[in-house]
């Protein structure tokens, strides 16, 4: 879903937002969960594998327009 939204945002005219509203908490939660990626790492000559979650911050900023709008959306999700 995140890849599709990013593609549509790149195809949209400059300054036009793809996401219809920041008030739809369900949609925003889904977009935020889709932006989480799991990174797997393993040192050389070791069997220990570690998993870390990363948030695709740059893609989210492109979708929401600014870091302030993204922080506002995250705050509204935390408040609900």
The SS3 of residue 45 is coil
Compute the distance between CA of residue 29 and CA of residue 19 in angstroms, rounded to an integer: 13
Domain around 28? 2-79
The per-residue pLDDT for range 17-73, each reduced to its tens digit, is 777 667 788 888 998 999 999 999 999 999 999 999 999 999 888 888 888 888 888
The reported pTM is 0.74
- Binned at pLDDT 50, 70 and 90, residue 4 comes out as confident
Does the pLDDT value for residue 16 go beyond 80? no
Count of structural domains within the chain: 1
């Amino acid at each position: 879903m995140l890849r599709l939204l990013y593609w549509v945002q790149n195809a949209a005219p400059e300054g036009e937002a793809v996401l219809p509203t920041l008030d739809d908490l369900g949609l925003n939660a889904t977009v935020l969960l889709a932006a989480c990626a799991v990174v797997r790492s393993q040192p050389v000559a070791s069997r220990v594998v570690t998993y870390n979650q990363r948030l695709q911050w740059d893609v989210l900023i492109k979708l929401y327009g600014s870091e302030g709008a993204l922080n506002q959306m995250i705050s509204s999700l935390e408040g609900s």
